[in-house]
């Protein structure tokens, strides 16, 4: 038996947050998943990139709320 593994941690498009098309509940859910990924890759370039994306998304959603 074989299975295809699909990664659910794909890069989010910047248009979602730039157009304020994300609600607060979704933003919190995404932030929690981002923080889990940051923790798993602590100290790496990927973690720093995800941290920056997470902060930007949360700022945009907070300003829009």
Delimit the domains of the chain by residue range. Answer: 14-64
Cα 61 to Cα 19: distance, rounded to the nearest angstrom: 10
Task: Give residue 27's pLDDT.
Answer: 86
pLDDT tens string, the chain, 65 residues long: the values are 555 554 545 555 444 445 557 788 888 888 898 888 888 888 899 888 988 988 998 888 888 88
* Lookup: tokens for 45: 């370039």
CA 53 to chain centre: 6
Task: Give residue 65's pLDDT.
Answer: 80
* Lookup: tokens for 18: 């730039």
Least Cα distance to 36 among 7, 5, 9 occurs for 9
User: pTM here?
Assistant: 0.58
Task: Give residue 17's pLDDT.
Answer: 46
Task: Give residue 16's pLDDT.
Answer: 47
């Amino acid at each position: 038996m074989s299975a295809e593994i699909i990664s659910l941690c794909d890069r989010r498009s910047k248009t979602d947050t730039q157009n304020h098309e994300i609600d607060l509940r979704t933003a919190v859910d995404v932030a929690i998943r981002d923080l889990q990924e940051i923790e798993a890759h602590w100290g790496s370039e990927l973690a720093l990139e995800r941290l920056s994306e997470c902060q930007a998304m949360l700022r945009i959603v907070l300003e829009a709320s």
